[in-house]
Structure 1
Amino acid sequence: MIFSVRFMVGCLLGLCCLPQALAAQQDLSLIRQTAETYARQQTAHLPGQVTVTLGAIEPVQFAPCAKLQAFLPLGAKLWGNSTVGVRCAAGAEWSLYVPVTVRVQGPVVVAARPLASGKLLAAEDLALQTAELTQLPSGVVSDANDAVGKTLSVGVSAGHALRQDMLRAPLVIRQGQAVKLIAQGQGFKVSSEGRALANAAAGQTVQVKTQNGQTVSGVARADGSVEVQY
């Protein structure tokens, strides 16, 4: 009889403590909400239509946290399949990693028809399509103005997405060409003649041999001259 009474008292005490034990666990929905808010904030600047989807969180029992803090794990990038970390910054010590998928629908410049290597691109050579950017190689061109007037370094088929590394700016200086050298510094500006030792597009550095035999480096200008800063 004494055993039965003790057993019943123990059960009643256990039932009374059960809600407290359950309440002492971290709400996983708050972890999920913290991770999602962080992911959306960090991807708000991306071009195009961004979709953020969170994966399932493994059922775990964590001590309640007074302050949740989301972070991006070292080496991670919110692009395609990724991960957002959530740690407890006050009240307990734990962290959890939440799977996140980021999709971005945006404009991509593609070849309107088959284009050969060395082709100087015009507006009619290009078309604009909407694509899933996270599934494409990095450096795809999204604005046709960034491609018009440049030369293709490789041949592409119709519908092929153009990348920045496929494009070459037109040459404004060719090797062996006589060029105008403009040397300038604080309080002076001098012009002379020289001969280019390499090809160069506008903005590129090129070496020039001066009339007295010296070799100097300068920046090619769009007008074919070379600017040397001192």
Structure 2
Amino acid sequence: MFNKRIVTRIVSLLLIGTIKFSAAATVTPERLVAQVQQAAQEQLKRHAELANWAEPQFTVEVVRNTRPIGPCAQPPRVEPADVRTPARMRFVAICPDQGGWRYEFVTRAKISAKVAVAANDLSTGKILSAEDVLLERHDISGMPDSFSDLTAVQDMATRRTIRAGDVLRQNMLVAPTLVKRGDAVRIVAKSDQIEVSMAGEALDGGGRGATIRVKNASGVTIRARVTEMGQVEPAD
């Protein structure tokens, strides 16, 4: 006859094992949605760091999958499927069991941050100064090309008329042309404390940072980078 204490211990272990197995096998829709939501939040934080969003805030909604969720003996994992557009991302929940399931989820995010806006009405071709822009919090869910750094838009030129309060976006601005084709330019090469310059002629036009062709005083065509009005530096 079994000892009563041993029987009690075996029953206790069996009950504990059953409880553990049931907990592992139960995957509720709510728990899976929370896992997807957490993955989306983490992905948005990465986007915010890469885009240098100023004081970002976001809320995430997970679009419910209507398919029934099957049992899974192991904790399911969530992987990104398409996170190129922060406002609408896709994730896949995977049960790692042999022959386990895969469910796709879509997340919608509302994102706000402090971004550059026009401080006053700006005419077409206006070169921006510090007085023309300011930072305000706006919903940028559909505006991933906005600016959170005011210095990034200064010295840029407007492509069209912009009204006061409008969020500045990349397609609204262009680097102003500092060198035009045919302009006489100064080619400046610097190395440590040594600076050498010579005259040249621009064969292309461009704004700050643009790489253009320049013919130097010796008649040799070189690739040069525009640094300021009428001045370039060797690009190679």
Identify the TM-score tier after normalising by the shorter chain: 0.7 to 0.9
In the TM superposition, 1:1-230 aligns within 5 A as 23=22, 26-45=27-46, 46=48, 47=53, 48-58=56-66, 60-73=68-81, 75-77=82-84, 79-136=86-143, 138-182=144-188, 191-222=197-228, 224-228=230-234
Q: Aligned with 1:180: secondary structure? A: strand
Q: Aligned with 2:154: secondary structure? A: coil
Which letter maps to 2:180? Answer: R
**Residues 146 and 196 (structure 1 numbering): CA distance in 2 closer, same or farther, change over 3 Å?**
same
Q: Aligned with 2:36: secondary structure? A: helix
Counterparts of 1:148 and 1:184 in 2: how far apart (Å)?
26
Counterparts of 2:200 and 2:169 in 1: how far apart (Å)?
35
CA drift at 1:119:
0.8
Which letter maps to 2:210? Answer: Q
Ranges in structure 2 where 5+ consecutive residues have no aligned partner: 1-17
Ranges in structure 1 where 5+ consecutive residues have no aligned partner: 1-18
Report the count of equivalent residues.
206
Counterparts of 1:189 and 1:129 in 2: how far apart (Å)?
42
**Residues 228 and 124 (structure 1 numbering): CA distance in 2 closer, same or farther, change over 3 Å?**
closer
**Residues 175 and 146 (structure 1 numbering): CA distance in 2 closer, same or farther, change over 3 Å?**
same
Identity %: 24
Contact 2:184 2:230 in 1 (8 A): no
CA drift at 1:164:
2.0
**Residues 167 and 59 (structure 1 numbering): CA distance in 2 closer, same or farther, change over 3 Å?**
closer
What corresponds to 2:3 in structure 1?
none
Counterparts of 1:59 and 1:178 in 2: how far apart (Å)?
69
Which letter maps to 1:32? Answer: V
User: Is the radius of gyration larger for structure 1 or structure 2?
Assistant: 1
RMSD: 3.0
**Residues 145 and 227 (structure 1 numbering): CA distance in 2 closer, same or farther, change over 3 Å?**
closer
Q: Aligned with 1:124: secondary structure? A: helix
**Which whole-Å deviations, capped at 9, do the CAs of 1:65-120 have from their partners, x for residues lacking one?**
313111122x4446223332101123541011223221111112222232111112
Counterparts of 1:189 and 1:159 in 2: how far apart (Å)?
44
Contact 1:49 1:106 in 2 (8 A): yes
- Which 10-residue stretch deviates more, 127-136 or 216-225? 216-225
Which letter maps to 2:234? Answer: V
